[in-house]
Amino acid sequence: MTMLSRRALLASALLPLGVAALPARAQTPPDFGKVAPPIFSALAKANDIPGLVVGITRNGQHEILAIGRTARKGGRPVDGDTLFELGSVSKTFNVALAALAAERGRLDLDAPLEKVAQRLTGTAFGALTPIDLATHATGGMPLQLPDSIRNEKELVAWLAAWKPAAPPATRRAYSNISIGVLGLVTATALDIGFTRAAQRDLFPRLGLKSTYIDVPEDAMARYAMGYTKANKPTRVNPGLLAPEAYGVKSTALDMLTFLDANMGVGDVAPDMARALARTHTGYFETASYVQEMVWERYPWPVPLDRLLKGNSLDMAIKPQPITRLDPPSPPVPASYINKTGSTNGFGSYVVMLPAEKLGIVVLANRNYPNEERVKAAYALVEALTGR
């Protein structure tokens, strides 16, 4: 288990020889290096996780806790630069690109999709908007595409024939299809492929150095091996809508930079900052949280049982009642904003408390229950905020 504090390392390196460090102020923040290891060592052990990296950002200062290895056999110690699959946390980049396209005047987030995808004119899906897709407000779309859908032509035909189970504004069901199609719609509006737009435009503009959809050969040594619940090694398979819905790989350090950008910390171009702020507009109220563009917003402070309910399997796979917010809710600093993500072999969880300028990322090379991630991160938040 290793600890890294960029600020501490820099401070010690600059300290003149023979000069003692100044005493800490009376009101020092809780020490991440003391409170995090017991929480996350227990989490890794209880869930048999080969490698786990936890990172926090406080006012733009990053600290990392690394536990375990990149593989059960032949791996190396994980660290802040280890690549993990993000699963559905990838969707937060999808909506950021859609919002950036809107900032550039290339995509109207409130216009029917048929204006961009004319082959869907007159269909139930064509009547939906990009915001509907970004908030899962489609009326009960399935989680995954049927196995028979193998290319975009077949996808469009399936979408044209699709019928909602209920009015889009009254029921919600989590869907890789809806957010995946949002990525295709955004790419069409930008006149570029989604992967190319993300890797050559979005990620660099966010200041991300090690975030990929297609991991380059020179970064493969840092790409952890994932493990299924049956303890079999695995990595995500490429497929239709995978890049848009769950295909991003990133590091803890890059994800902390991304959380900073979302909280208005750091150097981000004005149009990118406005796009990220737009993704934190609240559009629907669910039983547990306000649905932003993919992100899920709770009031802060929030009780743990409410977080667990909002991140439960039922909330993800069963249609849920929703209420449209009219007008939409602007970003609320006093919030606990989160997103979980999984592939067959990886589990991720990210949290932001904008008012506290506190962000947390938890990356693991095993898929383990959301409930365990939420409990551990919540315990860390309580310790760091003194609540």
How do residues 362-383 score in pLDDT, each as one tens digit?
999 999 999 999 999 999 999 9
Selected catalytic residue, list 12, 41, 88, 223:
88
Selected catalytic residue, list 174, 223, 298, 349:
174
- 158 Cβ contact list (under 8 Å, min separation 6): 145, 146, 149
Say yes or no to pLDDT of 15 above 60.
no
Q: What's the whole-number mean pLDDT along residues 78-91?
A: 98
175 is catalytic: no
**CA separation (Å) from 106 to 99, 144, 192?**
10, 28, 12
Question: pLDDT digit string (tens) for 325-359?
Answer: 999 999 999 999 999 999 999 999 999 999 999 99
Residue 57 · residue 256 · CB < 8 Å: yes
**In the chain, what's the furthest Cα-to-Cα distance?**
77
What is the overall mean pLDDT for the chain?
92
Question: pLDDT digit string (tens) for 117-138?
Answer: 888 999 999 999 999 999 999 9
Residue 171 φ/ψ, nearest 5 degrees: -140, 150
Residue 27 pLDDT grade (very low, low, confident, very high; cuts 50, 70, 90): low
193-228: buried (b, 16+ CB within 10 Å) or exposed (e) per residue? ebbebbbeebbebbbbebbbbebeeeeeebbbbbbe
Topology annotation, domain 30-385:
Beta-lactamase (3.40.710)
| Beta pairing class for 320-321 and 323-329 | unpaired
Domain ranges of the chain: 30-385
174 is catalytic: yes
Burial class (CB in 10 A: 0-12, 13-18, 19+), 240: middle
Say yes or no to pLDDT of 212 above 60.
yes
**CA separation (Å) from 161 to 149, 156, 181?**
13, 9, 15
pTM listed for this prediction: 0.92
DSSP, res 147: T
